[in-house]
Structure formats: C-alpha cells, structure tokens
A and B are shown apart, each in its own frame.
Chain A
Amino acid sequence: MTARTRKKSSLKYLLPAIPLCVFTLCFFLFPILLMVKYSLHHSLPYGEIERIFTLENYINFFTDIYYIKVLIKSFLLGLAVSVVTIPLGYIVAYALWQSRGLKRKILYICILFPLFTNLVVRLYGWRIILSPAGPISNFLQKTGLAEESVNMLFTWPTIVLGLFSECAPYYILILFSVLTLINPRYIDAAFDLGATRLEAFFKVIWPLSLSGVISGGLIVYIWAFGAFATPTILGNAKHWTLAVHAERQILSLRDWPYGSAFGIIILLFTLLIVFLQTKLLKRKQIYREI
C-alpha cells in the first residue's frame, strides 16, 4: 500500500468519529474555554461580573494560605486513596486473572456490581453503615469492643474508604486488561529457573504489569484529587477538596470568576500529572514493541 492510499483510508476510518469530535468540541472544549475566560474577569458583589482582563483570581488563590492548604490536602487525599487502592486492587485483579470459570464470573460480577448503582446512593449507603446507629457501631457495642456508639462519619479514613470503593473497580479492570496480556508461561518459566512464588511475581509479573498500575493508579489519583461527591457526603468542611470549593464559590458565593479559576487550576494540575505519567510510561514500556 502506498503512503497516499493509506492516508486516504485512515481518513475514511476517522469519518465515524466526527459526531463525537463535534460533541466534544461543543460540550467540553467550548465550556472550558468559557471558564478560562470567566476566570480572567473581575467579580463584583452579588454575582455580577466585570468583563475586564485580570489575573487577580489566580493571584488571590496562590497567595491565600487557606486555599493552598486545600490544594495540598486534595493532593494528599489523592495520594492516600492511591496508596490504598493500588495494592488492594492489585490483589483483586491478580485473583481475577488467575481464576477460571465460575469463580472468575462471580468475581467479575462482584467488581462490576457497584458500578450499576448510582454513586450518591452508594455514598448514602456508606453513611448508614458507618453512622453511630449503624450496624458496625451496633456490632462494636454488642461485642463490648466499644462502650458507646461510634461515629465513623466525617473523618479522613472514611473519605478514603469511600473513594477507594469508587475507584477500585476502574483500577481493577484496567489492571486486569494489562495482566491478560502477560503470557502465564512467564510464571512457569520463572519457577522453572528456580524462583520462588514471590520472586516470580516481583521480578516478572510486577514489572510487566507496571504500565497497568501506573495508568490505573493515575485514574485513581485524579479521581480522588478532583473528588466532589464523597467529601461532601462523607466529610465536612475541613475535608473539602478543591472541587467542592469550586462548586461553593460558584453556586453559594456566586463568585463565578473565582470558582472558574479553581476549576482551571484543578484541570492544570491534572494535566500536569497525566503529562508526568506519560513520561514515566514511555521509559518503562519499550519492551511492548513486540
């Protein structure tokens, strides 16, 4: 095939993508540009906007120690959720990979099932389970492990738990799809050459699945960093992430320019993380060219 005909046919294949491109342009890129524009305007009391060019929103943000702390806390939340999800999710993904037949089906359903339920409903489920009158608190009291009712809501670990339960299915499925690309013979080969189970894992399977850990972990990180529903429902004001504050600025304080600036800042940091990840992957992935 000559270069020209190949080009032509690849254009032909792009044709069905046009509606999606138009959609993304209208409902994603355009609103973002609009937000960028807003974030560069000056806000007046009572939610009015003065359409002049100014960087004051960004300057205010980065000079306000309160929001810097929120930013750092959002980063830390992302980190905490990743640290919990990456190893625990790995175990589930590995089990899914190694299982066959009925066992695999059951595991698969267990992983997918939570995704069939609305996120807010699931979060209120957590609220019931973890509340002072909930089953866990009751259980602890009955067994005498706790003297009085226990409230696990509105704490950091609870938010991490909530985010973990949200992100884990995505992470597991991404990792699983990478694991299925690994020839299970590699484990046999490693055993055969004298490696123990752990060595076979850490020297062969882990490095080969690293790309899945990184891309899956990234999604977890970004998800938790920009989390909105979970910190609102399972936490209180001191747990709020930048995303919650953006919403507050816009909907409660009616400061569109400042809220938009928050949104853009979240976006920029997310893009930065994605950028760093692609750098990281490129170096690790050369062997994939087979």
Chain B
Amino acid sequence: MKKTAVHLQNLTKKFNEVTALDNITLEIFNRDFFFLLGPSGCGKTTLLKIIGGLEFPSEGSISILDKDVTRLRANKRNTSMVFQEWALFPHMSVYDNIAFGLKKRKFDKKTITRKVDELLELLHMAGYQNRMPFELSGGQQQRVAIARSLAIEPEVLLLDEPLSNLDLALRQQMRVELVRLHKEINKTFVYVTHDQTEALSMANRIAVMNMGVVVQLDSPETIYKKPKNEYVAKFIGEANEIKGTIVKPNLFVADSGLQIKVPEQDIPTDSRVLFVVRPEEVHLLNQEEELPENHFRARVDTVSYFGRQLRFYVQLVDTGNIFFIDIFSTQLKADIHPNQEVLIGWKPSQTFCFQG
C-alpha cells in the first residue's frame, strides 16, 4: 500500500462570492509526480497555495504525511513552492537566494555553502553563485528557483506552471530534467499546468480540474484513453465530435443520419449523446485490407502538412459529416490530393459516447 503524502478532504475555497474550489477530496501518494491540469481560472494555483499554506481553505481539511496542517502557515509546513514567474529575490545573488531558507535552519556557513554548491551542481548551474537574478536567462532563473525550493528539503515540492515562461525548446529540455530530478531526489512533486502535453508526458497521476472541481483523477494513459466525460475528452487531446442519438446499445445515429457502431455501454437507448473519436484513431483504408466495422467513403477537403504528421479534413460522401484525421507522413503509401475520394474507418473500441 502506498503512503499518502497529501490528503485533501472536502476542501472548499471561497473568495467573497467566487467559489474557487468546490468540495475537493483527493489523495496524493508519496513520491508521486502528481499533476493538476485544467484551464485558466479553474483553481489550480489556489489549490497549490492551500497545500503550501499560502492560502487557507474556507472549509475542509488538509494533511501532509498524516499530520493535519489545515491551520499551519507556510513557514511551518514541510512544503516548498516554485512560483509561476519564479519570484527570485531580485536584490540577492543566486547564492543568497538559495541560502535564504537554509539560513533560517541554523546551519553553519560551511554547510550552507556546501549545500548551495550541491544544489547548483544538481541543476547544472555550478559556478553561478555570485550572479544576480537579472543576469540570468529565463531557464537559469527557473533552475535557481527550483534549487531555492529544494534547499529546504521539502517533503512536497509544489510547482506552479514553472515552464510557462520558457520557449518551446527549453521547455522540452526542462521537462526531461524535471523528470530526472524527481527520480533523483525521490520526493513528492505536485505540478500545476494547463498544458496537456506536459501533464501526459511527465505525470504518473493527473487530476483534471474544471471550475473548482476535480473531474477525473487517473494515470495519464487512462485519462487519454478512457476520459470520464465530454469535458476531459475535449480538454485532453483533440477529438472529432458528432451529436446524435443512441438507438441501440451499440449503435449511434448522428443527426445527419450517419450510423456508427460503438462499444456497448450502459446509456439508455434514445438518449442524446456526443460521439467522440480521436483524429489518430481514424485511418485511411485500403480496399484490399480487412475493413473495420465503421468505414465510410469520404472526399478529401484539405491537407495540412505538420512535418512528421499530416492532417486531412475529409467530408463523408453520403452524410456530409466532416472529420479530421492525423497520419504520420511515413505511414502514407501514396500521395493524397484534395478532392480525391478515400475510404476512412475506425474500430468501435477506440471511440466514446458521452451523455449530454
């Protein structure tokens, strides 16, 4: 059984009449790389601040490593936060920034110097002790901010969109490094982001949030492959959506008349649903191959080139529904032109229906 690092129970946070968090209960396990994923304004930062003790919940309780800390202020908690824009103290050198928390802990000077050196080493920043924050690039400031938080050896490291101010290349590099860092220091990380790629590629568990509630809490794979509802399916990854009705437990009929086989689910017949299929699950078919249950004739509308991948917009010949399809360029056998007629299809098991 896994140990619980952070346990939130019935947490509610109200700012005057705004409810930022609405009755959240969730458990973060020890050594998790835990992600809070959701759109802007859904309450991610607020939740993180409550874990760190920088905000207090209106209702509910929070415990860290089985100790109730609901009323403890940030300086009494064993957590540390890396802020969205890093918030390095601008009047202190890199050394002083990292040593800030250590000086509080009554280490002697030699120990502090050694620890700062070690941390800078760990974050590939050795030799930067005497720089001022404004003399550092964004990526370097980011590392210093992480080092400063790690210096106090927190049980839980809280990261609030730490990579959102970096360019794409640096962001990708830092993602890999953060995963490495997590492995190396073996502590619980709670990471806030609105970037699904970040969450899917780094997390071992993700809580998808919307408007102050946790909508789904699962592993990245489950979140992507088995989204619990329409919201998660749309927020994570891209999707073709069609409105229609379930006429039989395994048959969906779109408003356009398109009939699609779907996996059997316990949705009452004749209820309105949204049918969803991901663009990479729709394939271009070859007449000679064995055809999947769902296959339709379609006309290519546009082709967009994305380097390693192509996106086709196609329109079904019979019912006029529009789909977009992603295909790796290497998998494409022959050139495909707009207006060409093709056969598309997908396996029922790769699709979802959500009651609306």
Contacts and interface: CB of A to CB of B under 8 A. Distances in A.
A207 interface: yes
B328 interface: no
B26 interface: no
Interface string A185-227: 1101111111110010001100110000000000000000000
A286 to B, nearest CB: 7
A243 B133 CA distance: 46
A186 to B, nearest CB: 6
- Which residue of A183, A191, A192, A203 has the most chain B CB atoms within 10 A of its CB atom? A192
B52 interface: yes
Contact of B133 (A204, A208, A287): A287
A287 B80 CA distance: 25
Nearest to A290: B134
Contact of A193 (B49, B73, B134, B148): B148
B90 A191 contact: no
A208 B74 contact: no
B86 to A, nearest CB: 9
A193 B100 contact: yes
B105 A287 contact: no
A38 to B, nearest CB: 47
B104 A188 contact: no
A202 to B, nearest CB: 12
Contacts of B83: 185, 188-189
A288 to B, nearest CB: 8
B87 A193 contact: no
A270 B87 CA distance: 38
A100 to B, nearest CB: 11
Contact of B101 (A186, A194, A207): A194
Contact of B80 (A192, A196, A203, A289): A192
A213 B152 CA distance: 32
Interface in B52-104: 52-54, 73-75, 79-81, 83, 85, 87, 89-91, 100-101, 104
A285 to B, nearest CB: 9
A192 B54 contact: yes
Given A185-B87, A193-B148, A208-B90, A290 B133 contact: yes
B232 interface: no
Contacts of B52: 192
Given A287-B90, A290-B133, A290-B134, A191 B104 contact: no
B211 interface: no
B104 A207 contact: no
B15 to A, nearest CB: 11
Given A192-B54, A193-B152, A208 B91 contact: yes
B115 to A, nearest CB: 13
Given A192-B80, A194-B75, A289 B134 contact: yes
A189 B81 contact: yes
Contacts of B151: 193
Contacts of B75: 191-196
B141 to A, nearest CB: 10
A85 B133 CA distance: 33
Contact of A186 (B74, B89, B149): B89
Given A185-B83, A185-B85, A193 B91 contact: no
B133 A194 contact: no
A190 B89 CA distance: 9
B132 interface: yes
Contacts of B79: 192
Contacts of A190: 89, 100
A287 B101 CA distance: 21
B104 A192 contact: no
B54 A191 contact: yes
Contacts of B81: 188-189, 192
Given A199-B104, A287-B132, A192 B89 contact: no
A193 B81 CA distance: 8
Interface in B125-183: 132-134, 148-149, 151-152
A192 B85 contact: no
Given A192-B79, A194-B75, A208-B91, 12 more contacts: A185-B85, A188-B83, A191-B75, A192-B52, A192-B53, A193-B75, A193-B80, A193-B101, A193-B149, A193-B151, A193-B152, A290-B133
The list of the 6 closest CB pairs from A to B, nearest first, reads A193-B101, A185-B87, A290-B134, A191-B74, A194-B104, A189-B87
Interface of A: 183, 185-186, 188-196, 199, 203-204, 207-208, 286-290
11 contacts: A188-B49, A192-B74, A193-B75, A193-B100, A193-B101, A195-B104, A204-B89, A208-B91, A286-B132, A287-B133, A289-B134
